[in-house]
Homo-oligomer: A and B are copies of this chain.
Amino acid sequence: MKTVFIKNVLLNGTKTNIRISGNLFSEIDPSLVPTENDELIEADNFAIVPPFYNAHTHAAMSLLRGYADDMALFPWLNDYIWPFEAKMTADDIYIGTRLAILEMIKSGTVFYNDMYWMMDSVWKATDEMGIRACLGVSFMDFLGEEKIQKSFDLVEEYLHKSPMIQMSVAPHAPYTVSDKLWIRCADFAKQHHTIMHFHLSETEKEVKDCVAEHGMTPVRWLDSLGVLGPNCIAAHVVHVDEEEIQILKKRGVAIAHNPVSNMKLSSGFFKSALMEQSSSNVLIGTDGCSSNNNLDMIEESKFAAMIAKCNYGSETLPVNTVIDWSVKNGPKVFGLNGGEIAVGKLADALLINMNNERFVPNFNFNSNWIYASSCEAIDTMICNGKIVMRNRHVNGEEEIISSAKQCAKKWM
């Protein structure tokens, strides 16, 4: 069995040696010595940390980066985003997803929770690039029964194809999915033990429209349908009251907070302090590149902390809680044995260059990591025991960049 030996690395402030056997951390001990069977990483100037989980994105939308900005929501969607997406082929989605995964690896994300369509293309890109994902196939009533059934079939087809890639059902949002389809998605998810991933209470308009149509807010409506449970990941969750936060908590729903997207689209500020106080199961996501416009989880985590502090006081959401949201809660929600550099855990890791100027001085590593650093400080990413980036180079990145440039030309 192939082993990797990380020599003299800083783990939680102390120098040690780490061996990875297969896809797990097998030994952590300062007295370990490398053998001939070890692939050796000299890590004298590096710290090791668990990577980020991006809890809500639409990876292929990397192709729409900078296509339309600084606009009101509806002209942005109607005149730019939807017409662009209508032209996207399966190959475009493959190319856009590879570009997104390249950016995610470079910025320290080892797992992403996606929602899009033509998810066979997304699966292929993810499988090739070697990171983890949960791929949500979108459901909306307007697609019609034939496409809806095909989407359920696609989830089933890919369900067990790779231990690295989960599949999920993704009923788009309360305003695009009927009660019947919500229940059908939830039943399917229960039956197949999958995640159910959806947008929830993102804008004030959504809440008002839901009250007008169903006589209750989106959270209460979904709860009344009996579809909320611990397999649910609700993205955004901006316009909710305290009782709704308690409903979500009671049902075990995980909440994917997307600070930049909510700010850029003027959706509103997340109720950070209420979520923190209620110990809700909060994750952090970047959303798609069209409303961000990157997939950088360091930046996203900093935004989460800063809006919490500005709205609720400077002691709100201290850095270790932000790291829980962007690193540690993800593995729990997705049922993965990760999120920690410890013996027996999945060998997912980042090596951070402690000579990068953003880590000097090093009074508080976590504070430097979230409040000061940039992706450039991440030298190496290991995923499932395999080195996917070393010295900031990802295999094949030149071709990924050139094919994405070529692909985008048809929209120029």
Q: Could you list which residues of chain A lie within 8 angstroms of chain B, going by C-beta atoms?
A: 62-63, 65-67, 69-73, 76, 99, 102-103, 106-107, 260, 262-269, 289, 292-294, 296, 299, 302-303, 305-307, 309-310, 312-319, 355, 357-358, 360-365, 367-368, 371-376, 392, 397-398, 400-401, 404-405, 407-408, 411-412
Contact = CB atoms under 8 A, between A and B. Distances in A.
Copies of this chain, complex-wide, total 2
Given A262-B310, A306-B264, A361 B69 contact: no
A103 B316 CA distance: 28
Contacts of A376: 374-376, 392
A371 B294 CA distance: 7
A114 B397 CA distance: 40
A263 B309 CA distance: 6
A69 B319 contact: yes
A392 B374 CA distance: 14
12 contacts: A66-B365, A66-B367, A70-B318, A73-B314, A103-B357, A103-B358, A106-B357, A264-B309, A266-B314, A289-B372, A357-B401, A374-B374
Given A293-B371, A371-B292, A372-B294, A360 B314 contact: no
Contact of A65 (B292, B368, B374): B368
A66 B372 contact: yes
Given A372-B289, A376-B374, A361 B408 contact: yes
B269 A364 contact: no
A73 B310 CA distance: 12
A309 B267 CA distance: 9
B314 A72 contact: yes
Contact of A364 (B66, B294, B305, B364): B66
B401 A360 contact: yes
A345 to B, nearest CB: 26
A63 B309 contact: no
B260 A70 contact: no
Q: What 10 pairs between A and B have smallest CB-CB spacing?
A: A361-B408, A263-B310, A70-B318, A263-B306, A66-B367, A66-B364, A293-B372, A293-B371, A266-B314, A376-B376
